[in-house]
A and B are shown apart, each in its own frame.
Chain A
Amino acid sequence: MKKNFLKICALAAVVGFSSCTKDLDRMPTNSTTADIAYGSLQGYKQVLAKVYGSFALAGNNGTSTSDLAGIDPGQADFLRLFWNAQELPTEEAMCVWNDPGIPDFHNMNWTSNNVLLAALYNRALFHVTVANEFLRESTDDKIAARGFSGKDAEEIKTYRAEARFLRAFEYWVLMDLFANPPFVTEKDPIGKYIPPQTTRAELFKYIESELLAIEPLVVAARNNEYARVDQGAVWALLARLYLNAEVYLGKGNGKYTEAITYSSKVIAAGYSLKSDYKGLFLADNNTANPEIILPIVYDGVNTQNNGGTTFIINAAINGDMNPASFGVPGGGWGGNRSTSALPGLFADRSGATDKRAMFYGDKPEIVDVSQFAEGLRVVKYRNVTSTGVTPPAPGGSFSSVDFPLFRLAEQYLIYAEAVKRGGSGGNETTALGYLNALRERAYGNTSGNITSYNLDYILDERGRELYWEAFRRTDLIRFEKFTASGYVWPWKGGVRDGRGVESFRTIYPLPATDLTANPSLKQNAGY
């Protein structure tokens, strides 16, 4: 028995403990490696979905997750952050919330510690990093090595061009808002790496070259699946880039001719204005919408999040406004409303003549900034379909309205402005035709038509046509009115009558967090 026991001991020791070190190679259950993820065309498309989805969603697993830290997941998606940065420091919107970072916008006293600006910067560069990863994994060598050929390989190459577009778009955002961000491409590694800083001018060149390079590689305009990039989107971004070239490259370096060239290409591609302006911002704006060039898509069930159009709609209304009528019966957060300068752009703010004026409330003036009822509410976006149906959404607050990132009307306005600013290749007659097309849709007839226009008209008309679509800050800067004391709106700079602020505020500061983490960065002037 004694011997047996010894034998058992020895056996247990041998069986139990030998070859155990292999047990240290544990693999996650539901996650995969790159080779498995990219093992099929479907797999490539799912990674591409992340490259696109990084616009719409903060994270991978529902509303409470975020790819990025340092901010509440509900506020961490691209559009909510971009919208705040583009709208809240302008006359178009002012928020009653006291959350960190928000009051800085209308006070125009943001610092490098503003959590919302840091989150936007992080989000844009995260999006770039995800696109870079896709590009690393979709080189000709990689797809050949993974056994793709023929149609499938061609398809992946198209995906690749789209990923390059999305990266170029985010670099445009970074160039426009932060001017001199760090720069990484698919050639740089993941891991211990310090991305070098680039300059606005270099970035401009890079974005331009990327867009021109992918122009022949993406699908022809209006020929791709809904919500995917095509040539129309490439041209539209080029037109927007060229229109603002003087801001990015300095006075005298305008590229208005190019702006005309590329906006004309979009206009000629077969897009047309959606017949009713209101329908552009409804839950079924993904159907029968010939105007949208590229949207960010949302769905109350499949793409749930607390940012995006869910944020734009819910923050614009409160419980007193019957949220159910906005398609968000469980919502109404009571945050954003306009300053009186926005309805002031309309001769008649009732919406009876210019139907684009979609306001709610009767107190345009904000006296007490904490009162949501002061300042007209903007009810441009509604989570109901054109037939009045609310799409399904658990909890009754998630929106199914797609956000028009690029739409034809902007291209009309770019064309007209570029012509006025001296670009060649276009003419004022055509421009007037485009501007009046917008007016006729707005008025439902020709009563609002114009016979001539100047640059100030363009700025005002952009306000009327594109308000709350995340354009205003860029527009005001191009018109040199963003920080100027000669153009003020209520509460500009944090005072009721408005005031000018330091001119360096046309560029946002690089976040303090990245300045610490990335020693190659130098802060923008003034901060």
Chain B
Amino acid sequence: MKKFYRRLFTAVTALLLCAFSVQAQAQVSGKVTDAESGESLPGVSIQIKGTNRGTQTDAQGHYSISGTTPATVLIFSFLGKAPQEITVGTKQSIDVKLADDHRTLNEAVVIGYGVQKKKDVTGSITTISSKDFQKGTIQTPDQLIVGKVAGVAITSNSGQPGVGSTIRIRGGSSLNASNDPLFVIDGVPLSGSTINGAPNPLALINPNDIESMTVLKDAAATAIYGSRASNGVIMITTKKGKSGAPKITFNTNIGVGKITKKVDVLTADEFRQYVDSLGTPAQKALMGKASTDWQDQIYRTSISNDNNLSVAGAFKNMPYRISANFTNQTGVLITDNLKRSFLGVNLNPSFFDNHLKVNISAKGVISKAHYANQQAIINAVQFDPTQPVYDSASPFGGYFEWYSKDPATGTVTLNPNAPRNPVSLIRMQDNNSEVKRSYGNIEFDYKFHFLPDLRANLNLGYDVSQGSGTTFVPAEAGQQYTVGGQNNHFLQKMNNRVGEFYLNYVKSIPGIKSNINVLAGYGYYDNKTTNYNYPSYNAKGEVIEGSEPKFPLDIPQNTLISYYGRLIYTFDDKYIFAGSIRTDGSSRFAPENRWGVFPSAALTWRINRENFLKDARALNDLKLRLSYGITGNQDGIANYSYMAIYSTSSNSSMYQFGNNWYNMQAPAAYDKNIKWEQTETYNAGVDFAFLDDRLRGSVDAYWKKTKNLLNTVPIPIGSNFSNQILTNVGNIENKGVELNLEATPVEKGKFSWNVNFNLTLNQNKITNLTAVTDPSFVGNLTGGITGGTGQSIQIHSVGYNTFAYYVYKQVYDANGKPVEGVYEDLNKDGVINEKDMYRYKSPAPKVFLGFGTSLNYDRWSLSTSLRANLGNYMYNNVASNFGVRRNILNPLGLLNNSTTDIYNTNFFNNQYQSDYYVQNASFLRMDNLSLGYNFGSLFKNTAHLRLNASCQNVFVITKYKGLDPEISSGIDYNLYPRSRTFTLGANLEF
């Protein structure tokens, strides 16, 4: 938009120069600056009230206007800023600071294949721009908008550096296909596939390059992305160059992180007491003499450092922006480290009098990681606290391990049932990986010379990456002792290509008060991965027998081809109708099911434009939005599952005839009829703004119905080459209400206070799961837990939430203690069996809230953001697996530690299926608290400096007894703890 100002500025200045022959009476001059940044504002229009005379500020923000009298009122106005009126009086010099206008209605909003003015938007869309992003140490783009958008739940998967998040827009619409939203960067959709060696694909995008993120929620907004839109779309717009002198921005921050909580386990003393009082003599003899807090041994203070340098400006007619970033982050788990270097270039030249605009973007990143063995996290919980970390007699690299030594032969046998020493797991594994990725696009946007209302847009994108790495474990390490250590290598390459072409025709027809906007396009998306197969090696570099790969590589590939069109018709600036249709063809389906059609329709009524509201001055905006559409989903399913194919078995899975071994040639289960999953979305929303935009917001209600659910279901055994298959069966529904409120309660002189709040109610329900309605069908078990093998704790059942816990109802004694193995006979048949299991709660919050506020006084700013989830439950698998006597006094010749929960339950055996372990995990978390100080202009106006200090993950209030109440799967086990981080940052511009 600023580009537009600058062009306007040039044009208007030229005009004014010509007209500058008016007679002089008195003269006023001065400078106009931005109230927030202190930067000078060029191109501000200064008008003498009541006349059509005026001027503009120059490139340095200076102006001078003559012909004024003391009674003259000057109007200073600038797009996006609140206009000011100043009476000249006796002053000859008037400096003005212009503050941001809250009138955001004319802001451009990014939509699929285009932009719209906010006032005209027909879909449910939320944009968060860089000034509202989360502050502090931000590792991945999704973290920028955590808690900022109603209807969007972002849960970081753990505290590991660079780790990804689980992002759910309006609940999950699928059971077995992907529930992740589509990411679109500068118009180029990302494939969503992950490259080995990087913690997650979004970690390969530099958050500092992002200008804004826009979340498309309802079908009116997303259906133009057709088959990939069921889970919502997040559009990322990267920063671009602006005309003018080069502006250099340097950001740096340093962060220090520490874990906030450890899993509550028995101390060495408590453990000794427990074993002494209950153990057999043999078990007592197993205890060591040390007192080790294993969790202290594996965690440390993490340090992160993030430096970003960007240069933006214009070279002749070509705006450019170049950015470089280096991030070095250590994890709280010892040895964990992630180093990333980013380089990004944006060029935006225009040709033929701006008829042809070209946007070139190229981004590169190299990410180097040292991964700590995360098995250590859970082993530190369960490892015997009376044992030392080091044991000089140990043949396992000097680390204590559970082993026995045959006194006669000296043969050492490692107890195969024992956990390995957590410190050794980390210290004796060297796991390094490197990922290189480059992505970018070139976009040609051509406005036809003979028909300027018609635009052709060609956007070609690429995304190539390569991940490689090695894992080395010495032969003597306990973790790979039986195979003589490990020295493995991996290599994966990915090559994704995108081509889009569309024509867009926009025409205003004032005669009939109409505006039409028509779009027609074509898209081609191809995702190809090359996996190189290597044998496994031991530490000496010898091939582990049977691990030689049968094939040197594998190249999974899928392709999507699309045609799409959209019409937006606006009548009288009051009624806006939008309709879109897209058809997608996917290589994942058989030719007869390949193409899916995804339409949408939306209607917007700008109520405040009606005459009857003309006089309601407090009302700045009132808009009703109604939409309906169908979107699809095919992500997260296998590439070739519709084909009858045979696969050759690996070299460790051969069968012997005579003296020869044969690789088996096996048919695989397939569903030749597999096709698109379809989600219908109804949405009704109201946008409003009152009191000069001081209070603004929106309310949306939605209803999403998914049919032909891609669902892994049991099939009649004998009818295919498996007992279950991914097929289209079942329906689920999500219903919800979203509220978004922003307010500026105080804005007075140097002081301003902003508040934003969002609330989401979401309820999901499975309405059908089987091809034939069967009331006796309990559901599909899901949510595997640790302990025993093949145990699940969750179920998908008709009439219940997805991922509901499926458990027995625990019976408690008079003191409120759970009674081991005693459950309620829910069906009253006198027998406690699986028919007494019931569905109890689920992991998804029923309500989630986000709250943010910022206080600005002069150069100081203080802001915080908080988030709450209510009604979400967690299965405490740490307690259910370790908090039993059988675990401490283990029958397999070792001792293990337990959580302190054992004092409450006194369970002897694991009671995995008890609802006792399903615990309320509602929480309130302060994500961020930050304080900033703006030094303003320094060094004679050549530089601007801002400093800020922030704390992330400030506190969590919850009743949940485990480590952290926020785990999106709802099963708590082996969680890499999220740390509390303190960050100091500086931003320097010159």
Contact = CB atoms under 8 A, between A and B. Distances in A.
Interface in A106-148: 111, 113, 115, 121-122, 125-126, 128-130, 133
Contact of B658 (A20, A227, A304, A396): A227
B51 interface: no
A111 B718 contact: no
A33 B594 contact: no
Contacts of A96: 891
A454 interface: no
A37 B714 contact: no
Given A133-B667, A394-B547, A190 B721 contact: yes
Given A33-B644, A68-B723, A394-B546, A518 B655 contact: no
Interface stretch (A258-266, A409-417, A418-426, A509-517): A509-517
B221 to A, nearest CB: 26
Given A49-B663, A99-B788, A334-B891, A303 B719 contact: no
A522 B547 CA distance: 45
Nearest to A323: B413
Given A111-B833, A190-B720, A303 B639 contact: no
B772 interface: yes
B413 A332 contact: yes
B723 A70 contact: yes
A397 B482 contact: yes
B655 A128 contact: no
B558 interface: yes
A498 interface: no
A392 interface: yes
Contacts of A121: 717
Nearest to B552: A30
B446 interface: yes
B795 to A, nearest CB: 12
A31 B547 contact: no
A63 B649 CA distance: 12
A67 interface: yes
A226 B659 contact: yes
Contacts of B650: 60-62
B661 interface: yes
A182 B718 contact: yes
B305 interface: no
Interface string A36-50: 110000010111011
B501 interface: yes
Interface in B776-791: 776-778, 781, 788-791
A183 B667 CA distance: 20
Contact of B546 (A28, A56, A60, A302): A302
A32 B536 CA distance: 26
A25 interface: yes
Contacts of A122: 717, 723
Interface stretch (B40-48, B414-422, B954-962): B414-422
Interface in A59-102: 59-63, 65, 67-72, 74-75, 96-100
B281 interface: no
Nearest to A225: B658
B273 interface: no
A251 interface: no
Contact of A29 (B526, B553, B651, B654): B553
Contacts, number: 350
Interface in B382-412: 403-404, 406, 409, 411
A226 B658 contact: yes
A406 to B, nearest CB: 17
B266 to A, nearest CB: 20
Given A332-B413, A394-B544, A49 B891 contact: no
Contacts of A111: 833-834
A47 B646 contact: yes
A65 B286 CA distance: 36
A494 B125 CA distance: 62
A370 interface: yes
Interface stretch (A191-199, A375-383, A477-485): A191-199
Interface string A480-524: 000000000000000000000000000000001110111110000
B352 A49 contact: no
A403 to B, nearest CB: 13
B121 interface: no
Interface string B611-653: 0000000000000000000000000000110011111111111
A83 B323 CA distance: 65
Contacts of B690: none
Interface in A168-223: 182-184, 188-195
A24 B594 contact: yes
Interface stretch (B338-346, B567-575, B668-676): B668-676
A353 interface: no
Contacts of A34: 644, 646, 667
B719 A68 contact: no
Nearest to A16: B499
A130 B666 contact: yes
Contacts of A330: 414, 416, 481-483
A434 interface: no
B545 A60 contact: no
**Which residue of A33, A59, A115, A513 has the most chain B CB atoms within 10 A of its CB atom?**
A513
A393 B657 CA distance: 19
A329 interface: yes
B776 A46 contact: no
A303 B653 contact: yes
A74 B788 CA distance: 12
A303 B654 contact: yes
A182 B909 CA distance: 37
A17 B526 CA distance: 12
Given A37-B665, A70-B724, A516 B655 contact: no
A12 interface: yes
B413 A31 contact: no
A372 B892 contact: yes
A226 B413 contact: no
A389 to B, nearest CB: 15
Contacts of B937: none
A516 B776 contact: yes
A65 B721 CA distance: 14
A21 B777 contact: no
A18 to B, nearest CB: 10
B973 interface: no
A396 B482 contact: yes
B431 interface: no
Contacts of B646: 31-34, 36-37, 47
A45 B662 contact: yes
Interface stretch (A268-276, A314-322, A436-444): A314-322
Contacts of B524: 16-17, 20, 23
B551 A100 contact: no
A65 B664 CA distance: 14
B499 A17 contact: yes
A34 B645 CA distance: 7
Nearest to B526: A23
A24 B559 contact: yes
A397 B781 CA distance: 32
A126 B717 contact: yes
B719 A190 contact: yes
Contacts of B417: 318-319, 333-334
20 contacts: A9-B446, A12-B501, A21-B561, A23-B561, A26-B640, A29-B554, A46-B665, A47-B646, A47-B665, A47-B667, A50-B649, A60-B666, A61-B650, A70-B781, A74-B789, A100-B788, A299-B661, A318-B892, A324-B411, A512-B778
User: Ordered nearest first, which 7 A-B pairs have the shortest CB separation?
Assistant: A330-B482, A225-B658, A518-B716, A72-B789, A53-B655, A46-B665, A49-B662
Interface of A: 1-2, 5-6, 9, 12-13, 16-17, 20-21, 23-34, 36-37, 43, 45-47, 49-50, 52-53, 56-57, 59-63, 65, 67-72, 74-75, 96-100, 111, 113, 115, 121-122, 125-126, 128-130, 133, 182-184, 188-195, 225-228, 286, 297, 299, 301-305, 318-320, 322-324, 329-334, 370-372, 392-397, 512-514, 516-520
